[in-house]
């Protein structure tokens, strides 16, 4: 059973939230799902993951970042102005505010304060950066996570600064989606500290599961290996997945699961059962 919430952040932004297994709210460990770039909570595998974990006994929270481009129409990018204004620092702040709201019992009475995070793609990086400084996060799983946020050439940056925007094509919707120069400025101002993924992984000091498809064309498998290289091997598991890519052969709209994806879900469930119970 799912239940919807809205959280107004300290910046007066709206986070649209769906929780699963509300009967377990507050008594079971909580797992928060963090979507990636051009992602949203109801994309493809999102509800399937949440329902799967809920059946395994967790209380699950999915949400949309306020500037992911998806508004009240939960399946379309209708807020491209907000998408353009997004920054990595904003997403880190919003994830931490969501965690704080949960623990302050904005959604339910919380008896079990164990929290785990699953972050996909860029959401994996945001999860690591938030969890490194958030003492209330007990374990993190990354799926197809990026190992760096500065993914742009000097030529691209020069054009970005000159024009004020950087354009990306959403190949699924065919929309040209713009990123304002504020995102580049966020990278340049914070890449050595707040947005330094290597530093966050080296200092995480929490159980970490790194899962990555070996045929990932969006985020190279090498990036998963790099995260594992930086991680504390005593606390970290690396889970390579053969013959699959960035979304583990799951499509949007959701057309069903597959053996490799269900194996990933099972591996992730076992990881959280060990580290949140």
In a domain, 67, yes or no: yes
- 163 domain residue, yes or no: no
Residue 181 lies in a domain: no
Tokens 């399937």 identify what position?
Answer: 48
Instruction: Return the C-alpha torsion angle 171, 253, 87, 123, nearest 10.
Output: -110
**Predicted confidence (pLDDT) at residue 24 exceeds the cutoff of 90:** no
Of the candidates 184, 183, 29, the one whose C-alpha atom is nearest the C-alpha of residue 117 is 29
170 found inside a domain: no
Residue 244 has pLDDT above 90, yes or no: yes
pLDDT at 45 over 90: yes
Which CATH number does the domain housing residue 62 bear? 3.40.50.1820
Q: Is residue 169 part of a domain?
A: no
Residue 164 lies in a domain: no
Is residue 75 situated within a structural domain? yes
Q: Does residue 162 lie within any of the structural domains?
A: no
Q: What is the DSSP string of 81-109?
A: HHHHH--HHHHHHHHHHHHHHHHTTSSS-
Tens digit of each residue's pLDDT (9 = 90 or more) over 71-117: 999 999 999 999 999 999 999 999 999 999 999 999 999 999 999 99
Alpha helices (H) in 33-180, listed in sequence order: 46-55, 80-85, 88-103, 122-133, 154-163
Is the pTM of the predicted complex or chain greater than 0.75?
Answer: yes
Tokens of 203: 């200092």
Could you tell me if 92 and 48 are in contact, meaning their C-beta atoms sit under 8 angstroms apart?
no
Is residue 26's pLDDT more than 90?
no
- What whole-number distance in Å separates Cα of residue 31 and Cα of residue 57? 10
pLDDT tens-place string over residues 245-259:
999 999 999 999 999
Domain housing 75: 2-149+191-276
- pLDDT tens digits, one per residue of 172-225: 999 999 999 999 999 999 999 999 999 999 999 999 999 999 999 999 999 999
How many separate domains does the chain show? Answer: 1
pLDDT at residue number 58:
97
């Amino acid at each position: 059973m799912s239940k919807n919430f809205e959280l107004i952040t300290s910046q007066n932004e709206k986070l649209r939230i769906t929780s699963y297994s509300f009967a377990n709210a507050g008594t079971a460990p909580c797992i928060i799902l963090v979507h990636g770039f051009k992602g949203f909570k109801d994309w493809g595998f999102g509800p399937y993951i949440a329902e799967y974990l809920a059946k395994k006994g967790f209380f699950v929270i999915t949400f949309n970042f306020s500037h992911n481009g998806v508004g009240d129409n939960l399946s379309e990018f209708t807020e491209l102005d907000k998408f353009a204004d997004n920054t990595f620092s904003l997403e880190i702040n919003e994830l931490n505010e969501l965690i704080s709201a949960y623990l302050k019992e904005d959604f339910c009475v919380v008896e079990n304060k164990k929290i785990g995070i699953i972050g996909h793609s860029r959401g994996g990086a945001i999860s690591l950066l938030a969890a490194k400084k958030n003492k209330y996060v007990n374990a993190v799983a990354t799926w197809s996570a990026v190992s760096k946020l500065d993914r742009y050439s000097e030529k691209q940056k020069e054009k970005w600064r000159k024009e004020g925007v950087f354009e990306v094509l959403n190949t699924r919707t065919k929309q040209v989606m713009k990123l304002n120069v504020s995102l580049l400025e966020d990278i340049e101002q914070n890449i050595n500290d707040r947005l330094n993924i290597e530093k966050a992984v080296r200092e995480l000091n929490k159980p970490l599961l790194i899962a990555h498809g070996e045929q990932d064309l969006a985020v190279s498998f090498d990036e998963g290996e790099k995260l594992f290289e930086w991680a504390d091997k005593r606390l970290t598991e690396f889970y390579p997945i053969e013959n699959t890519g960035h979304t583990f052969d799951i499509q949007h709209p959701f057309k069903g699961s597959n053996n490799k994806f269900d194996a990933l879900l099972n591996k992730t469930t076992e990881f959280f059962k060990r580290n949140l119970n």
